[in-house]
Amino acid sequence: MKKALTTLILFASIYSFAQQDPYFTHFKDVMQTYNPAAAGEHWGKICVSGLTHHQWRDYDDQTFTRGKDGDPNYNNDVIYDIAPVTYNLNIGTSFRLSKDNSKFLGAGLTIIDDKIGYTKSTSFMLNLNYKMMFQGDFREIAVGAGLGGTQWGWDKPNYKSKDQLDPNIPITGGNQMKFDANFGAMFKQKRMSIFQDFYAGLSVTNLNSAQYTVQLTTQGGNTTLARKFVPHYYTIVGADYELNNGIILEPAILGKYALVGSEYRPQFDMNMTALFAKTFRGGIAYRQWGNADAISLLLGYEKDPLQVGYSYDITVSNVQKVSNGTHEIFLKYCFGIETTPPSPIIRLTPRFL
């Protein structure tokens, strides 16, 4: 039972003191997820993107082995599906607010389903932002907010203890829904020195620091599963640099300021991809989370209106002993909103006959 309790305490520690927001290797392609000012990147188009992130594949934990000697149900089964799995969906577009194309309203919907061990959260966020263009569309500033809710709780009561009738193991699931809010700002410029399509953003998630207290039933009675979401701060900077041979380099850095252990520390994701013939993409990324966490290989295909991406994270932390790496698949499709201008009204009068 001590091993089972140790694992439960470990999961509680992860949720109380680790980064709570999910992370993505394709972080520059899903900026709307953590910065509402990035919603609605194209006027006259609706863009839909989906992402699936399967972390630490084949991660297992022997404390999840079922039963013990004398247990008729004992079959040495080991659970292999306790590694984090994240799904993300983004939909966004922009609406013109002025006839001179200088003011726009960006709007988008973000859905995140995040599962770690036997706890799960599902978030729904409506993102709205106000965009202003300067010098035509050479420079853009956007400020936005995200409003929604997050449901969090114990997903499945199938935790298998090594000791029968362990009174600390939940046998029922439960969850709570709480209000959630984000805030963000974005700056874009067509050219900055040797770089093209420069962008920079600041944002914060979990503004209201929601506190969850989920009531669960155990074999020994009742217990409460508690979690407090804390603010996460993001800074992103990126641009394109075109080489003489037509290859476009796409460097990007995402800085995060979130809980590591029991204190806030900076974390970084660095991404360098290259776009060949404006169609095929390849690159490498590095993630530092407290210590070195992963080196990623990225592949992609882009042909308007479709974009596809795949990444494989090579774990370099101690988790590599029980992990076969992380897989992430990204898909994006943009389609135009067709509008037919009203037909001119022709009036014949004697003056113009």
Give the integer Cα–Cα distance in Å for 342 and 336. Answer: 19
**pLDDT on residue 137:** 82
**What is the pLDDT confidence band of residue 119, given thresholds at 50, 70 and 90?**
confident
pTM of the predicted structure, to 2 decimals? 0.83
In order of their start, the domains of the chain are 2-338 (2.40.160.40)
3-state SS assignment for residue 245: coil
**pLDDT on residue 123:** 96
Q: What is the mean pLDDT of residues 61-69?
A: 43
DSSP 8-state code for residue 204:
E
| Tens digit of each residue's pLDDT (9 = 90 or more) over 193-206 | 999 999 999 999 99
Lowest mean pLDDT segment, chosen from 20-34, 181-195, 268-282, 318-332: 318-332
**What is the pLDDT confidence band of residue 124, given thresholds at 50, 70 and 90?**
very high
The mean of the pLDDT values for the chain is 83
**pLDDT on residue 1:** 39
3-state SS assignment for residue 216: strand
Who has greater pLDDT, 61 or 92?
92
Q: What is the mean pLDDT of residues 242-264?
A: 87
**pLDDT on residue 321:** 64
| Tens digit of each residue's pLDDT (9 = 90 or more) over 20-48 | 889 899 999 999 999 999 999 888 899 99
| Tens digit of each residue's pLDDT (9 = 90 or more) over 297-316 | 999 999 989 999 999 998 88
Peptide bond into 342 cis (omega under 30): no
Give the integer Cα–Cα distance in Å for 295 and 21. Answer: 20
Q: What is the mean pLDDT of residues 219-245?
A: 90
**pLDDT on residue 338:** 64
Give the integer Cα–Cα distance in Å for 173 and 221. Answer: 14
| Tens digit of each residue's pLDDT (9 = 90 or more) over 140-187 | 999 999 999 999 998 766 666 666 667 777 778 899 999 999 999 999
90 near 108, Cβ under 8 Å?
Answer: yes
3-state SS assignment for residue 205: strand
* pLDDT at position 286 over 60: yes
